[in-house]
């Protein structure tokens, strides 16, 4: 459908105002919210995510594309609820206790939302107890922890340890990431999944939720 292709292309260029106009036009033409979301907005965000992963675009381009996506999604939200488009899974996301860096975490959120996942963003300086409580409250599939400091990355072990003592331990996976985090660190603390960047985190989260 030409209008959805155009929407995807405008989103990739970060043209929020034009994306909103096209979303309104598509709704007026009777397209379903699900098709507008998946074939227009998420398709554009998916292409940006791939380009980001391959270093073809950088943080500023991702942020403007994400803003355009959010503008479009806002218009669709009421329709999506009434059409009953199910979320593909729920992720509780935050930057770990003692750590205030949130730019990467926010990108992870945008990319995950771009994959159709519901993200409960706990913000920064999130304790292990808060991660667990939010996962229980929101019936989450994944707890996703970001850390940018070598002094705070060990908080991720606290999250894994706290989860192991709960009733939800078998159905909730722990994902970890952030500049100092590595696959070896992930393995050493018993977390379920490490990814290097936001786009890979979104791919991995979707795979975990739909496995």
Residues of this chain that interact with ligand B1M (CB under 6 A) are 59, 98-105, 107-108, 144-146, 148-151, 175-180, 195, 197-198, 201
Dihedral over alpha carbons 188, 194, 196, 200 (to 10 degrees): 170
**Nearest to ligand B1M of 120, 179 (CB atom):** 179
Closer to ligand B1M by CB, 104 or 116: give it. Answer: 104
Query: 46 vs 177, which CB is nearer to ligand B1M?
Result: 177
Nearest-angstrom CA–CA distance, 25 and 31: 9
**Minimum CB separation from ligand B1M for residue 8, in Å?**
21
**CA atoms of 107 and 198, how far apart (whole Å):** 6
DSSP tag of 96: B
| Greatest distance between any 2 Cα atoms in the chain | 54
CB of 159 to ligand B1M, least distance (A): 11
How far is residue 28 from each of residues 14, 61, 78, measured CA to CA in Å? 23, 29, 15
**Of 105, 163, 151, 99, the residue nearest 125 (C-alpha):** 99
Please report how close the Cβ of residue 193 comes to ligand B1M at its closest, in angstroms. 8
Least distance (Å) between residue 4 CB and ligand B1M: 27
Q: Which is nearer to ligand B1M, 150 or 183 (CB)?
A: 150
The span from the CA of 44 to the CA of 16, in Å, is 12
Chain centre to alpha carbon of residue 72: 16
Encoding tokens for residue 64?
A: 């403007």
Q: How far is the CB of 114 from ligand B1M (least distance, A)?
A: 13
Half-sphere exposure of 5 (CA within 13 A, CB side): 2
Nearer to ligand B1M, 59 or 81 (CB): 59
Q: In angstroms, what is the minimal distance from the CB of 48 to ligand B1M? A: 12
Using the minimum distance from each CB to ligand B1M, give the nearer residue, 6 or 197.
197
């Amino acid at each position: 459908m030409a209008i959805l292709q155009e929407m995807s292309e405008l989103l990739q260029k970060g043209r929020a105002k034009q994306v909103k106009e096209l979303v309104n036009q598509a709704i007026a033409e009777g397209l379903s919210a699900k098709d507008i979301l998946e074939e227009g907005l998420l398709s554009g965000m998916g292409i940006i995510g791939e380009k980001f992963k391959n270093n073809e675009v950088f943080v500023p381009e991702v942020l403007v594309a994400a803003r355009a996506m959010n503008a479009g999604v806002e218009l669709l939200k009421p329709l999506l609820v009434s059409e009953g488009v199910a979320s593909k899974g729920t992720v509780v996301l935050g930057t770990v206790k003692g750590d205030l860096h949130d730019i990467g975490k926010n990108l992870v959120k945008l990319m995950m939302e771009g994959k159709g996942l519901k993200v409960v963003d706990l913000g920064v300086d999130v304790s292990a107890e808060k991660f667990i409580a939010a996962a229980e409250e929101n019936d989450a599939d994944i707890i996703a922890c970001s850390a940018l400091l070598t002094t705070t990355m060990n908080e991720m072990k606290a999250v894994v340890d706290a989860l192991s003592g709960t009733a939800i331990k078998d159905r909730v996976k722990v994902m970890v990431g952030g500049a100092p985090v590595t696959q070896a660190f992930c393995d050493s603390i018993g977390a379920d999944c490490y990814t290097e960047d936001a786009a890979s985190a979104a791919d991995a989260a979707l795979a975990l939720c739909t496995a």
